[in-house]
Structure 1
Amino acid sequence: GCGQQQFGRGQHAPTVGDIVRGYKSAVTKHVNVLRNTPCLPVWQRNYHEHIIRDETAYLKIAEYTQTNPQPWQEDTYHD
């Protein structure tokens, strides 16, 4: 039907994880070409994406992104 993609035998529709993994891989390759730094990591280690499933989750994450940088001045790693 309209807007539906057909997948061949043995193929599955890509998951959100598949899409994010592909995006991060493509960006990493592009950034390393621009910087002439092959094989260097681009993304923060031990970081896990979180799928926002509803407005409550969105509001919680939005608040975190607004308030999280504020304590940086007091952080022991801040110079």
Structure 2
Amino acid sequence: MKYNPGIHHRRSIRLQGYDYSRAGLYFVTICTRDRLCLFGKIQNGKMILNDAGTMIERQWQELINHFEKNKLHEFIVMPNHFHGIIEFPVGVPLVGTQNVFAGTHNVSAGTRDVP
């Protein structure tokens, strides 16, 4: 089912008043458009990555090459989404990190950003 603002009421899970530009550990989730299973499949209880899933995994691991002071923690690629934990130390801006990750995998996958 596609998102319908008349039916679905999205709520922000962000903490009220929290400054998200601060240093800390951040839990990141990126979902595929329309929740399509584009990154692989679950087979016998194990995630089997396809080429797109392998690309997502590689892009996450290469993120550290763009932001050397950041630290990557655990991550998992699922059939239609990705979870990862990234640590931003004091004095390292968060701005741009999501753009590098999202922009790179869109180009690699042969898609384009949609406003």
TM-score tier by shorter-chain length is 0.3 to 0.5
TM-score scaled to structure 2, two decimals? Answer: 0.27
Name the one with the larger helix percent: 1
Name the one with the larger strand percent: 2
Structure of larger gyration radius:
1
Structure with more relative contact order (C-alpha pairs < 8 Å, separation 6 or more) = 2
